[in-house]
Structures are given as structure tokens and as C-alpha cells.
């Protein structure tokens, strides 16, 4: 059984589907602050918060957990500037509670949903894995702090882990079961589609001084099912040594 924290959210729920397609059994762990109960379908779920050691212990006691895909966390970098305490509490302290629960219950495999925001403003483009990590917001800082904790848990306790520092996820599974559904919606593709459908009056484009042909920003996207599949393959790689 694989525990998927934040498994009722956009990327987490697609990862649950990818796990099941690969022959794994999955259990969702989510507090539904941003996740959707309608995403559960027939997947078992423990309603809980990563900031609660008691909730995490309940999940590990209730199910025979072999590995973890960790998606739970706050992800809005503008919000992180206004509420840095919230981002450190959930992304770092909550992550530490998860690691303690894994250690307590003898679970050795973790795939962490990190972010390209750990790199900050890149020195070179395209970014590769060895580029300096110099975050420019509390969101990226809190994710990087947890990445560093993973390295020390590996050295001290034998944790086997991977961190994926990806860019913007987009799209939905081919069956159309799940998709992007955020409140408030901040992702560009849903905003563009909403404007095209007349659900909002306009799409605002910010920035005029980027080093691009028209001065506006360029974004890199990865399809959410490619991302979900990568997490599953990462877990398989860890579990196979």
C-alpha cells in the first residue's frame, strides 16, 4: 500500500490513478483544505493533516504502508510572501512529522513533490539538477529546507528518496475523470480557457521586460499524467534498489 499525501488534490489524484494503473494499492491522506472529496472515488482515504503527528500515526497504523508519495503542502508563491509562517509550518514542519511517522513505522521509500522554485533565478537556461538552488520566495525556501532534511534522514536513518523539481503541471487524464479545479484559480491554462468560454472577462498578462521576443514571460509545462507517471517510476526505482 502506498500513502499519497495530498492525494485529493490535482497532481496527487492523478498520481493515485497512475499508481493503480501500475498495480499498486493506494490510500489517500488529505485534510481537504484544497483537495476535493469528489476525487476520492473508490480509493480509501484517511482524513488528516500532515501537521498532526496523531493523524499521520493513525494512517500508518491503519494501513500497511510500503512507500509514500508526498504532495501535501502549500504551493502559491505570492501567498508565501504574505504568510511565510504558514509555508514553513506545512511544507517543512508537516514534512518533518511525516518523516518521523515513516521512521517510527519502518517505511523507507519517499518520493517528494518539490518545485523548480528551489532554484530561484537561474544562472543558466535550461536549468539542470546541479544548478545552484537559491530560492527567492518562502515557498521555494520551505521546499528546499525539506529537501535538505531528506538528505540527512537518508544518512542517519536509511531513507531512500527522490525529489522532483518540476515546473508547471497542466492537463488532465485521458478519461476525463479529474482535472484542474482550484479556488482561487491561479493557473494560466484554466484562466485562458475560462476567458475563452466567457466565464471571466479577460486574462491579464504580467511583465514586459523579460528577455523574450515580446518581453512577456515564457512558461514550461509538463502534462500532469507524465508527472504522475514519473512519480510512480521514481518509487519503483527506489523500491527495486
> What is the tens place of the pLDDT at every residue in 77-130?
888 999 999 999 999 999 999 999 999 999 999 999 999 999 999 888 889 889
Q: Is the pLDDT of residue 182 over 80?
A: no
Reported as a pLDDT band with limits 50, 70 and 90, residue 187 is: confident
Q: Is the pLDDT of residue 183 over 80?
A: no
Q: What is the pLDDT of residue 36?
A: 86
Query: Which class does domain 2-170+221-239 fall in?
Result: alpha beta
* 191-to-170, 207, 216 alpha-carbon distances in Å: 12, 17, 17
Grid coordinates representing 96 are 518533518
**Catalytic residue among 10, 88, 109, 139, which?**
139
Cell numbers representing residue 201 in the block: 472577462
* Residue 94 cell numbers, joined: 508537516
Q: What are phi and psi of 185, to 5 degrees?
A: -85, 125
The distance from CA 219 to its chain's CA centroid, rounded to whole angstroms, is 18
Query: Which has more confidence, 146 or 39?
Result: 146
Query: CA–CA separation, 87 vs 80, rounded Å?
Result: 6
pLDDT at 54: 97
Active site residue 139: yes
Residue-wise pLDDT for 168-179, tens only, equals: 899 988 888 887
Give residue 205's pLDDT: 82
Helices 53-62 and 94-105 pack at an angle, to 10 degrees, of 40
| Cis amide bond preceding 64, omega within 30 | no
- In this model, does residue 210 exceed pLDDT 90? no
The pLDDT tens digits of the residues spanning 53-74 come to: 999 999 999 999 999 999 999 9
CA pair distance 156, 142, nearest whole angstrom: 21
Helices 10-21 and 224-239: crossing angle in degrees, nearest 10, is 60
The DSSP string of 23-39 is: T--EEEEE--SSS-GGG
pLDDT in tens, 105-119: 999 999 999 999 999
Position 19 confidence tier, pLDDT thresholds 50, 70, 90:
very high
CA distance 174 to 172: 6
How confident is the model at residue 125, as a pLDDT? 84
Stretch 185-192: mean pLDDT, rounded? 84
Amino acid at each position: 500500500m502506498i500513502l499519497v499525501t495530498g492525494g485529493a488534490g490535482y497532481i496527487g489524484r492523478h498520481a493515485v490513478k497512475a499508481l493503480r494503473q501500475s498495480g499498486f494499492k493506494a490510500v489517500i491522506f488529505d485534510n481537504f483544505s484544497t483537495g476535493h472529496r469528489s476525487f476520492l472515488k473508490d480509493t480509501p482515504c484517511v482524513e488528516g493533516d500532515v501537521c498532526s503527528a496523531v493523524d499521520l500515526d493513525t494512517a500508518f497504523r491503519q494501513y500497511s504502508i510500503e512507500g509514500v508519495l508526498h504532495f501535501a503542502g502549500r504551493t502559491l508563491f505570492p501567498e508565501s510572501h504574505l504568510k511565510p509562517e504558514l509555508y514553513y509550518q506545512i511544507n517543512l514542519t508537516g514534512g518533518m512529522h511525516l518523516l518521523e511517522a515513516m521512521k517510527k513505522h519502518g517505511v523507507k521509500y519517499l518520493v517528494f513533490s518539490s518545485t523548480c522554485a528551489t532554484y530561484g533565478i537561474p544562472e543558466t537556461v535550461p536549468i539542470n539538477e546541479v544548478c545552484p538552488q537559491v530560492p527567492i520566495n518562502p515557498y521555494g525556501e520551505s521546499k528546499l529546507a525539506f529537501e535538505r532534511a531528506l538528505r540527512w534522514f537518508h544518512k542517519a536513518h536509511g531513507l531512500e528518496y527522490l525529489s522532483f523539481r518540476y515546473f508547471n503541471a497542466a492537463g488532465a487524464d485521458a478519461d476525463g475523470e479529474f482535472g484542474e479545479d482550484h479556488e482561487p484559480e491561479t493557473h494560466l491554462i484554466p484562466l485562458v480557457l475560462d476567458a475563452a468560454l466567457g466565464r471571466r472577462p479577460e486574462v491579464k498578462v504580467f511583465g514586459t521586460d523579460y528577455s523574450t521576443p515580446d518581453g512577456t514571460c515564457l512558461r514550461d509545462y509538463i502534462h500532469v499524467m507524465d508527472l504522475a507517471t514519473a512519480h510512480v517510476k521514481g518509487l519503483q526505482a527506489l523500491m527495486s534498489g
